Amino acid sequence: MRERQARGHISGVNFDRLHFVEWDWELQGKLLAETDLVLIPVFTENYRTETKSANRLIDGLMSGKFVITTPLASYTEFDAYTWQQDWVQGIRWAREHPGKTLDCITAGQQYTIENYSPQTIAQRWAEVVNGKS
């Protein structure tokens, strides 16, 4: 991240105030419970970026958090519920507009429940397996 900042890809971030940890499923749940928003930085110069699913974004929304990320094709349908622009501006916006932020979270949770909950996904798979889709 510091190298990307030195090359001018990132500005306005004090990495000394951020704490990075290696991903772990249990730790992710613990940290989600302790935070107000989820930052998913995506560096689009990686050739695999366009194949990323929205799983991390969906997990953040289902956990009741405001998600700030980079716009990707798989994230487009969640644009109304997330911030998909400059990360620093997104954090500022969320802090300055708590009511609107909560509205985004609430609507995003409803959308993910209707379209991506385990029950909904299981029903879709059952329809495919039973030839009803």
The pLDDT assigned to 99 comes to 97
Residue 7 lies in a domain: no
Residue 71 lies in a domain: yes
| Residue ranges making up the domain that contains 98 | 15-129
| Backbone torsions φ then ψ of 93, nearest 5 degrees | -60, -45
The single residue listed with the structure tokens 């029903």 is: 123
Residue 102 lies in a domain: yes
b vs e for 81-107, b when ≥16 Cβ sit within 10 Å of the residue's Cβ?
bbbbeebeebbebbeeeeeebeebbee
Task: Give the distance, in angstroms, between the CA of residue 60 and the centroid of all CA atoms in the same chain.
Answer: 5
Residue 110 lies in a domain: yes
> Hey, which bits of 21-132 come out as E strands?
37-40, 66-69
Of residues 4 and 61, the one with the higher pLDDT is: 61
Of residues 109 and 131, the one with the higher pLDDT is: 109
Per-residue pLDDT of 112-127, as tens digits, reads: 999 998 899 999 999 9
Of residues 43 and 133, the one with the higher pLDDT is: 43
Per-residue pLDDT of 70-97, as tens digits, reads: 999 999 999 999 999 998 899 999 999 9
Q: How many domains does the chain have?
A: 1
Residue 82 lies in a domain: yes
Residue 73 lies in a domain: yes
Per-residue pLDDT of 26-82, as tens digits, reads: 998 898 999 999 999 887 877 777 888 999 999 999 999 999 999 999 999 999 999
The pLDDT assigned to 6 comes to 86
Give yes or no for residue 98 having a pLDDT over 90: yes
Residue among 1, 97, 115, 90 at smallest CA distance from 38: 90
Q: Is 69 left (phi over 0), alpha (psi -120 to 50) or beta?
A: beta
The pLDDT assigned to 42 comes to 84
CATH number for the domain harbouring residue 21: 3.40.50.2000
